């Protein structure tokens, strides 16, 4: 049975804990990869992933089903990434209490730590981009989300992001990456 179906069935039964567990275990590795690419720091990504897990765990019962669980999970992850990049987070370095969500996050982090990830020239170019630019690239290219889904993930506090504006940003971003690649002799 597909992951999305298992999660929705758990929610239909009123079992938000089972739905959250399925979501963190099923989508966790790709969410962690997304956070690592966006934040460019394994430590920040681990912090954001732990925060993501806690927020998802707490919010799962309130999931309204207006999008796929996968897209909603990326929205929660983006929120966690933004929070970790805030100066207040860095000063306080919040310690989350141990819970089932924290244990699941640790499980995914432990498994992901052993997976090699090839470094390439594109990663070096991506490192020069702002977090929101990296997020756009990762969501569209690596995670293959539709424009509507990318717009939903990147929406600010419920304010929708215009898909056409995202496409235009993406085109400018491709041009920027092309310039950077030419400057570094990666392409002719």
* Mean predicted confidence (pLDDT) in 65-72: 93
Of the pLDDT bands very low, low, confident and very high (cuts 50, 70, 90), residue 11 is very high
Please compute, for residue 91, the number of CA atoms within 13 A of its CA located in the half-sphere on the CB side: 3
Domain boundary (101, 117, 133) is at 117
What pLDDT, on the 0 to 100 scale, is given for residue 116?
A: 43
Which pTM was predicted? 0.77
What's the number of domains the chain is made of? 2
What pLDDT, on the 0 to 100 scale, is given for residue 177?
A: 86
Other Cβ atoms within 10 Å of 97 Cβ, number: 7
130 and 149 assigned to the same domain: yes
Domain boundary (93, 117, 141) is at 117
In this model, does residue 178 exceed pLDDT 50? yes
57 and 8 assigned to the same domain: yes
- pLDDT tens, position by position, 103-144: 666 666 666 555 444 446 777 788 888 888 999 988 998 888
108 and 149 assigned to the same domain: no
43 and 84 assigned to the same domain: yes
Of the pLDDT bands very low, low, confident and very high (cuts 50, 70, 90), residue 50 is very high
Q: Long-range contacts made by residues 40-44, C-beta under 8 angstroms, separation at least 24?
A: 40/127, 40/134, 44/84, 44/85
Average pLDDT, rounded, for the chain: 84
56 and 130 assigned to the same domain: no
Give the CATH number, domain containing residue 174: 1.10.10
Of the pLDDT bands very low, low, confident and very high (cuts 50, 70, 90), residue 183 is confident
What tokens were used for 140?
Answer: 């569209």
Q: What residue numbers bound the domain in which 163 lies? A: 119-188
What pLDDT, on the 0 to 100 scale, is given for residue 149?
A: 92
In this model, does residue 98 exceed pLDDT 80? no
96 and 136 assigned to the same domain: no
Domain boundary (84, 117, 150) is at 117
Collapsed DSSP state (helix, strand, coil) of residue 173: helix
What pLDDT, on the 0 to 100 scale, is given for residue 88?
A: 55
């Amino acid at each position: 049975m597909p992951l999305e179906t298992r999660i929705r069935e758990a929610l239909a039964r009123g079992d938000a804990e089972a739905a959250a567990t399925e979501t963190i275990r099923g989508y966790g590795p790709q969410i962690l990869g997304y956070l690592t690419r966006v934040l460019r720091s394994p430590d920040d990504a681990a912090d954001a992933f732990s925060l993501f897990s806690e927020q998802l765990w707490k919010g799962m019962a309130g999931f309204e089903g207006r999008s796929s669980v996968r897209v909603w999970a990326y929205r929660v992850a983006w929120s966690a990434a933004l929070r970790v990049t805030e100066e207040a987070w860095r000063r306080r370095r919040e310690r989350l209490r141990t819970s089932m969500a924290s244990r699941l996050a640790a499980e995914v982090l432990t498994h992901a730590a052993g997976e090699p990830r090839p470094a390439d020239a594109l990663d070096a170019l991506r490192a020069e981009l702002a977090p929101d630019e990296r997020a756009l690239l990762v969501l569209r290219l690596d995670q293959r989300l539709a424009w509507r889904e990318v717009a939903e993930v990147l929406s600010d506090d419920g304010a929708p992001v215009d898909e056409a504006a995202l496409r235009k940003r993406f085109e400018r971003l491709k041009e920027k990456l092309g310039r950077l690649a030419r400057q570094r002799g990666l392409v002719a």
